[in-house]
Chain A
Amino acid sequence: MNLVERYVHRRFERASRSAEQRVGLAGAVKWALRYVFPDHWSFLLGEIALYSFMVLVVTGIFLTLYYVPSDAQVIYHGSYALLYGEQMSEAYRSVLNLSVDVPAGLLFRQVHHWAADVFIASIVLHLMRVFFTGAYRKPRDFNYFIGLTMLMLAILEGFAGYSLVDDLLSGMGLAIAYSVAMSIPFVGGQLASLVWGGPFPGRSVFWPRLEIVHVLIIPAALALLITLHLAMIMRQHHSQFPGPGRRERNVVGTPMWPAYALRSIGLMLAVGGVLFLLGGLIQINPIWQWGPYHPYLSENGAQPDWYIGWLIGALRLMPNWELVIAGRTVIPNPFWGGAAFPLFVFVVLFAWPAIERRITGDVLRHDLLDRPRDRPIRTAIGAAFLSWVVIVFAVGSTDRIFYRMGISYTTQIHVWRVGIWVLPILVFFITRSACRSLQRAEAHPLRAWQGNVVRRTPAGGVEVLSDSPDRSVPPISEPPVGTLPGSES
């Protein structure tokens, strides 16, 4: 150890001692740095969402500096020639200026929008991982509920951001959202005029409200829930896949420091890199091409961002049923697709842990994950439910399919009104039999087990125990790395 190193070491020790005397978190820091992450790439899906959220916050702060939440009508005299002299709201003009004139404004806007799309996509993928591996079971069901709440909030947040711009697409989206809000039985009318401040397109108070919801209330709620989500994970520890040495009450994997933190920082940089590459190279929501919204305008092929697509699909797929009692429309049609359908999907997701406990009678704590194939019924139900939602989602683009492939819109709707019930049943049986045959073969289709389990005999020879790892005896010694201190082992 040379002089410089010694000096640095001493300075560091002194600094950490003085910090410890004032803050006193050495124990917690030590505990956090020794936290063990199980090794599987699918545990990183949630982290993609986490880092997308960070990109959203950073880019969002930049955008907030330029956005004006006002529907005051102005005449555009800016530098974009195609809209010169056009009447538009101040909100739209501020985003147009941001996109056209502010240095790096368009880049930040596009990164923000791509990050939102990828954020919710990664949450959905993470949810699928959690569902199909049974990670939502006790004691993690509470954290699973937090995750579902965050998914709902993220969808709402994305829609609010999409609407803030007041371009042609956002205006048409808000018109649909207004109709859906109005369709809620009994309270819809009051609710809609409470939110919009009056009949569509609403009074000027609507825009500052929408902005505060988008930039403060929902992000703060999300940040709080993310903190809670991570704290719960730290407290309960990650679940892990079963394997040699892996038990219900231990975690085998990589400690936070010096290994896993670097890996995670790498992922964070990758998320930022991919999102900024998308934002710089691929155009998203070119609002100067859509033009400003006025209630008398519309365009063909208007679509919401992908995470609202399932609601558009549900509105399209639903037959024209309304509940009319004594000449009064109690439940107008948009309610079914726009409100009841997403409500039903989330209720099923929220209720699933309890439903599964009821069906299987398994109320025990589970820290080891299931492989999807080992629970054929759950996997099949999950796949069928997923396909049910995905079909509704796909129906949201029937207009483009009609346009591109010439399959008539009404034909598609009629086919899917039947297919929506038939296809998930097929998916159920196919998934179940696929799981069972995988179980029987006990091999990954692409990565079959090849080898024998052997043991070295005292005489120095090799004794073949088995040709398959599940018929082998457990290993004599367990990997010591990362076994939790204090946990039974």
Chain B
Amino acid sequence: MKRVFVRWLTHRSRIPPVLRLSLAVVLAALAAVGLAAPASQGQQSLGGAPSGEVNPPSKSPEPPGPGDPTKTFPDSPALRIEGYNLYQQGCSSCHGISLEGTAGVAPSLRGVGAGPVDFYLSTGRMPLEQPREEPLRNEPAYDRSQIDALIAFISSYGGPAAPTADPSRGDLALGFHAFTLNCAGCHQIVARGGITVNAQAPDLEETTPQQIAEAVRMGPYLMPHFDATAIDQHTLDSIARYVLWTRHPDDAGGWGIYNIGPIPEGMVAWFIGLAALVLVARLIGERMDEPV
């Protein structure tokens, strides 16, 4: 590297050495500044602060509004025992033997109720391989009956009933309106996903209405949670209906190129539109046949 640099400086060229030296100094200074630029947004620790025995979650799930439909999961003593065994094998190393959580690693699960358990397990976000990484959608580690067992066990510690949503009772226009207002800021307007500071807001292409309802009420990871006064049951149903709609939106203009706007559009403009025209130009224009 040093030899290349020295040779570049001393090499005979039409550019005067003074100019080249000053260019090198400027580039080096800028590179140094770039290296030293402060990491303005450092990694934030997402675990809670140590707080004695129990490590409560930073936010607890909102209950469904009074009179709103809820989702009931199967429950029986045998199921709870099976859930207890599964919990001790797969969850207790972080969430604690008696659901008390671990400070800085995992929140307590006491009193979270059925909704969050169903959400995290049925979307495959839990269990995590590394405790501090961001939980992302994955193949579920447990089958439905095992998830029911874990729900039965964990919700035996109390907590709100699990919310639910019925898209068939929702209103599509209201759903679009409410989604724009509350969800599009992170999930993108056609629910194709997006980012926040050091976290991803997932696309909603595989989410079920049940998971939508649970996520809205509990606010997984960085997502805020919404109670029944912010998003009532009818709006929740409508949002679920809109999210189902986004999987096959009305692409009246032709191929939808994934509905995320200008990035794929620019690619089409350059690599299909202009490429085709350059090919035409290449075919009808001549080239130098005589080498020179």
Contact = CB atoms under 8 A, between A and B. Distances in A.
A232 B195 CA distance: 49
Given A298-B185, A421-B34, A320 B173 contact: no
A410 B198 contact: yes
B210 to A, nearest CB: 24
A431 B31 CA distance: 21
A409 B34 CA distance: 16
B257 interface: yes
A226 interface: no
Given A286-B256, A300-B184, A304-B262, A274 B281 contact: no
Determine the main DSSP class of A at the interface with B.
Answer: helix
B73 to A, nearest CB: 32
A263 interface: yes
A291 interface: yes
A208 interface: no
Interface stretch (A56-64, A191-199, A240-248): A240-248
Given A301-B260, A414-B39, A470-B292, A81 B281 contact: no
A136 to B, nearest CB: 18
A86 to B, nearest CB: 6
Contact of B284 (A118, A266, A406): A266
A185 interface: no
Interface in B276-291: 276-278, 280-288, 290-291
A360 interface: yes
B177 interface: yes
Interface residues on B, range: 35 or more
Contact of B41 (A47, A281, A282, A410): A410
B272 interface: yes
Given A41-B286, A377-B15, A403-B194, A305 B266 contact: yes
B180 interface: yes
A41, A84, A290, A469: most-surrounded residue (chain B CB, <10 A): A41
Interface stretch (A12-20, A26-34, A394-402): A394-402
Contacts of B255: 281-283
Given A121-B269, A286-B253, A303-B261, A444 B173 contact: no
B278 A300 contact: no
A283 B250 CA distance: 11
B4 to A, nearest CB: 7
Given A281-B255, A470-B292, A275 B284 contact: no
B211 to A, nearest CB: 19
Interface in A1-50: 39-45, 47-48
A283 B254 CA distance: 5
A330 B64 CA distance: 51
A284 interface: yes
A81 B172 contact: yes
A59 B27 CA distance: 46
A278 B267 CA distance: 13
B192 A278 contact: no
21 contacts: A39-B288, A40-B285, A41-B286, A48-B274, A99-B252, A106-B253, A241-B292, A282-B255, A283-B254, A285-B262, A286-B259, A290-B189, A300-B195, A306-B262, A309-B266, A359-B14, A397-B263, A400-B260, A410-B41, A410-B43, A420-B34
Which 3 interchain pairs have the tightest Cβ spacing? Answer: A300-B194, A306-B266, A41-B285
Given A284-B253, A297-B181, 14 more contacts: A41-B283, A85-B173, A99-B252, A110-B253, A113-B265, A243-B292, A280-B254, A286-B252, A298-B185, A299-B189, A301-B192, A305-B265, A319-B34, A417-B35
